[in-house]
Amino acid sequence: MNAGGGAVTAPRLRAFLAEIESGLSPLPTRALVAAIGAEAHGALRAAGALRPASPLAIVPCDAAPRPCWRAVAASGSPRMGVCKDPKGTCAPRAVDPAELAQDELSAPDVARVLRELYAADGRGLPPPGSFRAPEIVVLGWQPHETGEREVALVTRPGQQLYMAVAVMRRRLVLVPTARHVTAEHRKKHGPGAFIAIEVLEEALDVRAGRIARGDVVHGANDAPPVAAPPPEPPRPAPPPPEPTPPPAPRAAIPAPPAKPPPGAPAAGPLIPGARRWADVSIYLVDGEMVRIDVPGRCRRFSYVDLGMAKVQNRRPNAQWQMLRAICEGDGEFKWRDFGQFQAARKTVSRLRQKLRTLFGLDEQPIRTFSFHQGFRVSFRAFHEPPAERQPPMATVPLIDGDGPYGHGGGGDDD
């Protein structure tokens, strides 16, 4: 299940990619080089995926009746390692600096390398900060014979692979190693499938000191280093500056342009077409996507498309969780599902403003909110798309969504 469709034996980058799944960093440089080779280690360093980390502070003792460690002095030449056993089981010895060297993974640079190798357009998505927490990292969208498909990296396949393939959009799922990819996965999610799985340890290799995938080589289009120009001859000293004339009188600052009246909709809404909230229907597709119907238009949006993702880790924020709860309750939900009353009311206020901006409407999308009754919305919300709620009574042609996030809709039963 690689770029060519077949498995590769003894992948060179397996030990490095396994650390993405484990989340353990830094790594002893000597052990990593022994596992992947000096060429692969140099290629990862050149790409920025690996970078030097702080040196080790302890090293294992060579031989002892029981396991013990030597504490390495912070300075000195040579640096000495002294046994930490109070009985002094092992004699002090000089420690080679190469024995203390470590490398750490750079998650943002790993994401940058994968985006280049898979031609994935990030569209402003921030890269992951680290791989310590389980996460399905959306790298971007790549061209596909059917239009485009999403490219996502699963950092913990043992916990999240089943979630990564349980979506209703075309996706390429990248898995660091083949440890959790079964024969059933390879049969169902092979190349060309609606949701395809590609194992990085089988698809990536090192070629001429660079990370490569098939015919694509990371950094192949980088410009070669340009030789430094010869030094210029010394220039004569400039003449002394002339006296500075007095400053001209400061011109009057023009008045700022008039602001739009309070409550006016923002120009160019993301989802145009609705004149009132009764024209809007929102259907929950899955945990990450909704379908939105307005007159003459049907499109699907993820929480990232709607601007309801956290900036730090791109996970759904409280506004998306509340919108999802509204759909699950077919237009209603209780504030107690979101903790304290004041916190829930604050989230409602932010969601109101977000929806008004998205649709360009003045009216409030949330009609009532009280301590006892919860709230209801002015638009129509459903826990599943219309085709799954009941068979359609008639087929009504809809205009497919345009833009990079547009998805064609099915028949509408309204």
Q: What is the CATH number of the domain that holds 314?
A: 1.10.10
DSSP secondary structure of 119-178: T-B-TTPPPPS-SSS--EEEEEEEEETTEEEEEEEES-HHHHHHHHT--SS-EEEEES-S
Q: Are 345 and 322 in contact (CB under 8 A)?
A: no
Same-domain pairing of 308 and 370: yes
Same-domain pairing of 92 and 122: no
Rounded CA-CA distance 346/278 in Å is 24
| Amino acid 11: pLDDT | 65
| Amino acid 292: pLDDT | 92
Same-domain pairing of 70 and 140: no
Say if 170 falls within a structural domain: yes
C-alpha to C-alpha distances, 221 to 117, 122, 134, 217, nearest whole angstrom: 12, 19, 33, 9
Same-domain pairing of 284 and 346: yes
Say if 79 falls within a structural domain: yes
Write the CB contacts of 16 (distance below 8 Å, at least 6 apart in sequence).
32, 35, 36, 40, 44, 49, 50
Q: Are 409 and 307 in contact (CB under 8 A)?
A: no
Measured over the CA atoms of residue 86, residue 91, residue 94 and residue 95, the dihedral's sign is negative
Domain boundary among 165, 185, 215: 215
Say if 160 falls within a structural domain: yes
Say if 136 falls within a structural domain: yes
Write the CB contacts of 357 (distance below 8 Å, at least 6 apart in sequence).
265, 266, 269, 270
Say if 362 falls within a structural domain: yes
Same-domain pairing of 348 and 372: yes
| Amino acid 399: pLDDT | 37
pTM: 0.52
ω into 26 cis (within 30 of 0): yes
Q: Are 219 and 46 in contact (CB under 8 A)?
A: yes
Same-domain pairing of 81 and 112: no
Same-domain pairing of 287 and 210: no
Same-domain pairing of 84 and 155: no
Q: Are 285 and 399 in contact (CB under 8 A)?
A: no
Same-domain pairing of 362 and 285: yes
| Amino acid 221: pLDDT | 54
Say if 381 falls within a structural domain: yes
b/e map 357-390, b = 16+ CB within 10 Å: ebbbbeebbbeebeeeebbebbbbbbeebbeeee
C-alpha to C-alpha distances, 155 to 48, 258, 270, 302, nearest whole angstrom: 19, 50, 32, 21
| Amino acid 195: pLDDT | 95
Say if 282 falls within a structural domain: yes
Question: Treating both helix axes as pointing N-terminal to C-terminal, what angle do 318-328 and 341-359 enclose, rounded to 10 degrees?
Answer: 90
Q: Which range marks the domain in which residue 315 is found? A: 277-389
Same-domain pairing of 93 and 178: no
Q: Are 283 and 327 in contact (CB under 8 A)?
A: yes
Domain boundary among 67, 99, 131: 99
Q: How many domains does one find in the chain? A: 3
Q: How many Cα neighbours within 13 Å face the side chain of 168?
A: 16
Same-domain pairing of 156 and 204: yes
Helical ranges in 307-402 per DSSP H = 318-328, 341-359, 386-389
Domain boundary among 178, 194, 215: 215
Sequence letter at residue 278: A
Helical ranges in 238-295 per DSSP H = none
Using alpha carbons only, give the angle 223, 229, 231 rounded to the nearest 5 degrees: 155
Measured over the CA atoms of residue 364, residue 370, residue 371 and residue 377, the dihedral's sign is negative
Same-domain pairing of 290 and 194: no
Rounded CA-CA distance 381/386 in Å is 11
Rounded CA-CA distance 383/323 in Å is 11
Say if 401 falls within a structural domain: no
pLDDT < 50 regions, the chain: 2-10, 223-229, 251, 253-254, 256-257, 264-266, 388-414
